[in-house]
A and B are shown apart, each in its own frame.
Chain A
């Protein structure tokens, strides 16, 4: 009777040991999976952080390019207005006209140079544009 009970107990103990071993293996697998997930999350977070930095740099680049084109236009308008005012009031001479037009031409030249620069980037082709942006954005 005691021997039967001992045998049953040993059998159950063995089953428990097997289940415990299986559970340990499952836990190890889960830990490895969590570590992989954690690693993937870290990579994703880093990727997002880099993307945000690049987006910030791209916005800053675009804003600066827009300003470098827009501000000369503002100056041209200002000098045209000045030319008009001086001509209407009769307080202008040939030297003034020449000076104002030279300032206007200087600003127009700057706009042209900026557009040429933008074109240069655009016609380099999408792959190279991306590459040049990557270099520009990452300061490599």
Chain B
């Protein structure tokens, strides 16, 4: 399965499982392809600071000004939040309440909700900082929000990095589960 095939599936919740070494490339690829279709994105990043993600996207020629970022890394790693306008900075990756509020605010800020996507990078990183039961509840809430807006949601996760029971619970909430090829497109 490739990122293109997931994007082609359209609205819905897609769980994308990739080898850790190609996870970042796959995330960038997904944002690029969804952006190319004219969609506005909400990018929830727990693995990489927004500034670096943005640089990576701009290197691919993607205009990131229309997208909204929720950065859970910068403040916790550096002790100080960034100052980008289209970004919500959270102090820690375990702040699921803050994450939920940021997602709600980001959703409100997007005008064309049917033409919207949400990327989560990544479920496996989220599991480092949160108890699995609490994380499942958060993801359920997040998925409901995406589904209510008939948007596209891609939840990325590193391969073999999530407890199979937890994985199967997330898969049950998702419309489809995809195992991405080890070689990025």
Contact = CB atoms under 8 A, between A and B. Distances in A.
A67 B158 CA distance: 11
Interface in B54-110: 55-56, 59, 73-74, 76-78
Contacts of B40: none
B73 A82 contact: no
A88 interface: no
Nearest to A104: B77
A90 to B, nearest CB: 11
B24 interface: yes
A19 interface: no
Interface stretch (A8-16, A31-39, A70-78, A124-132): A70-78
Interface in A82-140: 82, 86, 91, 96, 98-100, 102-103, 105-106, 110
Interface residues of B, number: 27
B148 interface: no
Provide the main secondary structure of the chain A interface.
Answer: helix
B76 to A, nearest CB: 6
Contact of A99 (B24, B51, B163): B51
Contacts of B125: 71, 75
B132 A78 contact: no
B47 interface: yes
Contacts, number: 68
Interface string B31-61: 0000000000000000111011001100100
B77 A63 contact: no
Determine chain B's interface SS by DSSP, over half rule: helix
A79 B162 CA distance: 20
Given A67-B128, A99-B52, A99-B77, A60 B21 contact: no
Nearest to A100: B52
Nearest to B164: A63
A67 B127 contact: yes
A68 interface: yes
Interface in B118-150: 124-125, 127-128, 132
A18 interface: no
A98 B78 CA distance: 9
B162 A67 contact: yes
A17 interface: no
15 contacts: A63-B163, A67-B127, A67-B162, A71-B125, A74-B158, A77-B20, A81-B24, A82-B52, A82-B56, A91-B55, A96-B52, A99-B52, A100-B52, A102-B78, A106-B73
Given A82-B52, A103-B77, 14 more contacts: A64-B163, A67-B124, A67-B128, A71-B158, A74-B161, A77-B21, A78-B21, A91-B55, A99-B77, A102-B78, A103-B48, A103-B49, A105-B77, A106-B76
